[in-house]
Structure 1
């Protein structure tokens, strides 16, 4: 007899997720600790995140890209649909190593968009499907598991979930490239010293680790779903 979620409610395939759960927890703790640490370390030059972002945008002929304040911590992002760069209050107003690093990273995304960076364009193309897939996949998967007459829906759910995983995979080169651009821009424009570059790298590497963890978790979950499907 097949038990959709394992015998007596325990699904042995859940073991596949344990390493990625631990990695995700570590990545989340790492980014919070690194950001908090270097948020308290001001740069010698004293530029705020907003000033760094504005100078870099203007230098790359992106004067028409406005900078807005977003709500919440670590809510910084570049919106390619509206061509707006949004920085959290502590990054916008702060002159810390963390603030200028995050601001430069988001400018990196704006430059990618302006240059037509292929992985970013591909990510933007996949995003609508991935967003729908991440929210709808489990509906199809659960219905397919519970109701044998609709078993085919599980395959639909897995395909939708795979689209979300593909989005996470494509995100990695986009984020790493933006971080590399950020470090280069901060250094060549003299916003940080050689010593401060070490802190900037730690902040950006910690942030990148969260994307690595998300990708690993997605791949592990996809593998788990395939195992459940085959066992069924």
Structure 2
């Protein structure tokens, strides 16, 4: 059975929405990078203060290459900030730095969704790379030699894809919670002016939407391939 024209429409639609959200995110960050902080603190300083205020002493804040490459690594307990975020003193940098520290706070407090996501990372790293190849290979094998073995190969691929899809949805509460922690801390500690806080909130809102689009895209792709596999048995 061929991949089908519907698959290309689906992938095209998801890619378009993803591009629109990503493009809007970049515009927002460019805009809020011009909102200079009244406290004149860099992203690094914001991050270090949030960690200290939450009693976290064993997490380092380091600079990494790239743009929008910011992340928290629970394995070595590092808040990794891209060079612009690490060095700059604006609302966008403050938002990202505080958000990544939100993950560090989650880790320190054993936030259940973060723990679950962390446990799934090794398996998802493998399944996300192999799933689609197994599905397509299974469908091709099934078309050539009857459904038997090809069907089960495709089902294994679908299960692996389902695991990656579940992972993308587990990511949502983790990301939203980290943003909520960041914004609450920024407000409670009076780190930002009203204008700066509004900018940080909007920036994080658009960042979160990239994860929503990714999750919806993963689910749509999973459902499409499920229809291809199980529909092909009829």
Report the TM-score when normalising by structure 1.
Answer: 0.93
Identify the residue that residue 172 of structure 1 maps to in structure 2.
Answer: 172
How far the C-alpha of 1:23 sits from its partner, in A, is 2.0
* Contiguous gaps of at least 5 residues in structure 2: none
Q: Distance in 1 between matches of 2:10 and 2:83?
A: 39
More displaced, 143-152 or 94-103?
Answer: 143-152
Q: Please give the secondary structure, in 2, of the residue aligned with 1:47.
A: coil
2:3 corresponds, among 2, 5, 13, to 5
Q: How does 1:50-61 map to 2 (within 5 A)?
A: 50-61=44-55
More displaced, 17-26 or 84-93?
Answer: 17-26
More displaced, 20-29 or 208-217?
Answer: 20-29
Q: Please give the secondary structure, in 2, of the residue aligned with 1:147.
A: helix
More displaced, 53-62 or 69-78?
Answer: 53-62
Identify the residue that residue 188 of structure 2 maps to in structure 1.
Answer: 188
Matched, 1:207 2:207: yes
Q: Distance in 2 between matches of 1:47 and 1:190?
A: 13
Q: How does 1:81-160 map to 2 (within 5 A)?
A: 81-148=75-142, 149=145, 150-151=149-150, 152-160=152-160
Matched, 1:222 2:228: no
Alignment root-mean-square deviation, CA: 1.3
Matched, 1:24 2:22: no
Identify the residue that residue 163 of structure 2 maps to in structure 1.
Answer: 163
Q: Distance in 1 between matches of 2:170 and 2:63?
A: 27
Contact 1:47–1:95, Cα closer than 8 Å, also in 2: yes
* Contiguous gaps of at least 5 residues in structure 1: none
Report the TM-score when normalising by structure 2.
Answer: 0.92
The alignment of Structure 1 onto Structure 2 pairs a total of residues equal to: 226
Q: Distance in 1 between matches of 2:224 and 2:55?
A: 47
How far the C-alpha of 1:13 sits from its partner, in A, is 4.1
Contact 2:64–2:81, Cα closer than 8 Å, also in 1: yes
How far the C-alpha of 1:17 sits from its partner, in A, is 4.1
Identify the residue that residue 27 of structure 2 maps to in structure 1.
Answer: 33
Contact 2:85–2:93, Cα closer than 8 Å, also in 1: yes
CA offsets 1:39-94 (integer angstroms, 9 cap, x no match): 12211111111001111111222122111111100111100011111101111111
CA offsets 1:155-193 (integer angstroms, 9 cap, x no match): 000100111111100000000000011111111112101
Contact 2:35–2:196, Cα closer than 8 Å, also in 1: no
Identify the residue that residue 9 of structure 2 maps to in structure 1.
Answer: 15
More displaced, 132-141 or 156-165?
Answer: 132-141
Q: Please give the secondary structure, in 1, of the residue aligned with 2:192.
A: coil
Q: Which of structure 1's runs of 4+ aligned residues deviate more than 3 A?
A: 13-19
Contact 1:92–1:99, Cα closer than 8 Å, also in 2: yes
